[in-house]
Every structure is written in C-alpha cells, then in structure tokens.
C-alpha cells in the first residue's frame, strides 16, 4: 500500500472487531475502526442473503450509505457434515425454525445435533467479505482461504463464555484436539495471515491503481 487507510469494519461486536484487527495486523498502514467509534445512527441491515457473501454485501452497502466512507463487512455460515442441504444452518446459525435463539438455546440446539452423530460432528465456518469504497467500486470474496479449518461440534459443554462467540463452548479444534478456549488464536484461517489480509492487501492495491488511473485521465483532460 502506498498510503495509510482507516477502514470502518461494519460490526458492533467488540470481540469480532478485536479478532479482525488481529487478522489484519500485518498491514501496518491500515487502521480498523468499528461502528461504535462513529457517532452515527446506524441502520440495521436486512441480512436476507442466501449465503455469507450476499449478507456481507448487504451489510457493507447499508453501512456505507449511512457514513459515505470506505467500509467493509464480513459474514459467516456454519456447515455441518452429515446434515442434508435443507438442514444446514448456513447463514442462519442463530435462527432456527423462524426463531432467533439465545446463546444458551444455540448451544443446546447444536449439542443435540452433535448427539445425533455420536457426541460430535465435523463442522466448518465459511466466510465472505465485502469492501465498499463507493456504489461503483466494490471488492468482495468468498475464497476458500477465508474459511476456518474444520472443527468438532461436541455434545460436551465447557463453562467458559466469550461474548460474540456462543458456540466456542462446544467447539474443539480438529487438528490439535484442543477445546477452542484452550487454543491461541489471532491469525487468519490459513494460519499465516494470508486469508483476510491477502484479500485486503489486493483490494487496496486495486483501489490505488484505480485512483492513479483517474488522476492520469484528469491530467490528460486538463492538458
């Protein structure tokens, strides 16, 4: 990147804001702020998309239309091996049977699913991201490298709680066998900072190329 950027991350969830700052920490010229950092009356996005990318786009455009500054949003969907397509939570991780579950109800619901598979089932969060500079300059991705590694959803529940991540209490890292609360996080899904950070770096480079092209055209018009 050739300049310093401040980007608004479209979330009011403090835990998710902290996590995203960790994923993007190698981009030292990039500052990430959240919705609560700006004194604006934010509208609530519809989030009626069929997949994480559609929801990420809806959220980013909704927030952009309020603040008129560069903003990005991310969204996730939960997919569980062994469930039919109709049963997959997808982007409706919290909404079951038309009802928004509390954190406790969520854990109870997914513990029941794990019990159907003998006490644990393989699951994966598939992520997408959308960055909006203007209505006609949008960068987005749902690349595989944005997805978290597969993990176990279990019928056993740990007593710890982390705001914003209600299912961590019943989640186990598949590679190490460690419970999520015993793992050290802070990197992107692929483990070396090349998931969200690669997307952001490439998007900002394309944005700068676009700005240089516009400057050249303007310079040519003035001559």
- Output helix, strand, coil percentages for the chain, rounded to the nearest 5: 40, 25, 40
Residue 200 pLDDT greater than 60, yes or no: yes
Residue ranges covered by each domain of the chain: 5-222
- Averaged pLDDT for residues 43-63: 95
Beta bridge partners of 7: 32
Hey, how many other C-beta atoms are within 10 angstroms of the C-beta on 189?
Answer: 19
Q: Which of 214, 75, 201, 222 is nearest to 136 (CA)?
A: 214
Hey, how many other C-beta atoms are within 10 angstroms of the C-beta on 188?
Answer: 25
For the entire predicted model, the pTM comes to 0.85
Architecture label for domain 5-222: Alpha-Beta Complex (3.90)
- Averaged pLDDT for residues 190-207: 83
In this predicted model, what pLDDT tens digit does every residue of 161-170 receive, in sequence order?
A: 877 789 999 9
Across the chain, what does the average pLDDT equal? 91
Q: Is 2 helix (H, G, I), strand (E, B) or coil?
A: coil
Number of residues that this document lists for the chain: 223
Residue 223 pLDDT greater than 70, yes or no: no
> Given this model, what pLDDT does residue 100 score?
92
Residue 193 pLDDT greater than 60, yes or no: no
Residue 186 pLDDT greater than 60, yes or no: no
pLDDT interval class at 189 (50, 70, 90): very low
Beta bridge partners of 173: 151
| Rounded Cα–Cα distance for residues 58 and 94 (Å) | 18
In this predicted model, what pLDDT tens digit does every residue of 75-132 receive, in sequence order?
A: 999 999 999 999 999 999 999 988 999 999 999 999 999 999 999 999 999 999 999 9
| Rounded Cα–Cα distance for residues 31 and 148 (Å) | 24
> Given this model, what pLDDT does residue 181 score?
87
Residue 151 pLDDT greater than 80, yes or no: yes
| Rounded Cα–Cα distance for residues 151 and 172 (Å) | 6
- Averaged pLDDT for residues 58-75: 97
């Amino acid at each position: 990147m050739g300049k310093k950027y401040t980007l608004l991350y479209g979330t009011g969830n403090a835990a998710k804001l902290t996590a995203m700052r960790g994923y993007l920490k190698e981009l030292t010229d990039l500052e990430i702020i959240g919705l609560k950092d700006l004194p604006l009356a934010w509208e609530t996005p519809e989030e009626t998309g069929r997949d994480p990318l559609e929801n990420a786009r809806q959220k980013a455009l909704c927030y952009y239309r309020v603040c008129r500054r560069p903003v990005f949003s991310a969204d996730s969907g939960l997919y569980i091996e062994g469930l039919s397509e109709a049963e997959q939570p997808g982007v409706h991780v919290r909404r079951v049977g038309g009802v928004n579950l509390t954190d406790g109800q969520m854990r109870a619901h997914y513990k029941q699913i794990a019990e159907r598979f003998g006490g644990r089932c393989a699951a994966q969060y598939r992520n997408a991201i959308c960055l909006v500079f203007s209505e006609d300059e949008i960068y987005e991705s749902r690349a595989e490298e944005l997805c978290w590694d597969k993990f176990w959803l279990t019928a056993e529940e740990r007593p710890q709680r982390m705001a914003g991540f209600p299912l961590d209490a019943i989640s186990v890292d598949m590679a190490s066998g460690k419970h999520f609360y015993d793992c050290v996080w802070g990197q992107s899904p692929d483990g070396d900072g090349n998931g969200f950070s690669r997307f952001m770096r490439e998007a900002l480079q394309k944005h700068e190329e676009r700005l240089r092209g516009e400057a050249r055209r303007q310079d040519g018009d003035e001559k």
